[in-house]
Amino acid sequence: MKVAVHLTATLRAYLPAGTVGDNVVLDVPEGATVDQVVHSLRIPRELERLTVVNGRDAVPDQTLSEGDVLSVFPPLAGGR
C-alpha cells in the first residue's frame, strides 16, 4: 500500500536518495505501523520526534492505511 511521508527540518536528511523536496510516497506492507515506516527510513530511535498521521497526533504502534500522510518533525521549542 502507498503512504505519503513528509519529513521536516533536520529530518529531511533521512528521505531516500533522489527525493526532491520534503515528501515521498512509499510502498509499505499492509498493516505497517508509524514506527516501522520511521525505522525503514533509518531515523535513529533515540532521535526525538513528533509523528502525525493525517493531521492528528500518532503513536508509534498506530497502523497506517492506504493513502495516509505521515508527517515526522523534530520537537519545537520557543514561545512565551
pLDDT (0 to 100) of residue 75: 84
User: What is the per-residue DSSP string for 36-62?
Assistant: HHHHHTT--TTS--EEEETTEE--TTP
pLDDT (0 to 100) of residue 29: 97
| CATH H-level, domain 2-73: superfamily | Beta-grasp domain (3.10.20.30)
pTM (two decimals)? 0.89
Q: How far, in Å, are 36, 37, 49, 54, 77 from residue 15 at the CA level?
A: 15, 11, 15, 19, 23
Contact in structure between 54 and 71 (CB atoms under 8 Å):
no
pLDDT (0 to 100) of residue 18: 87
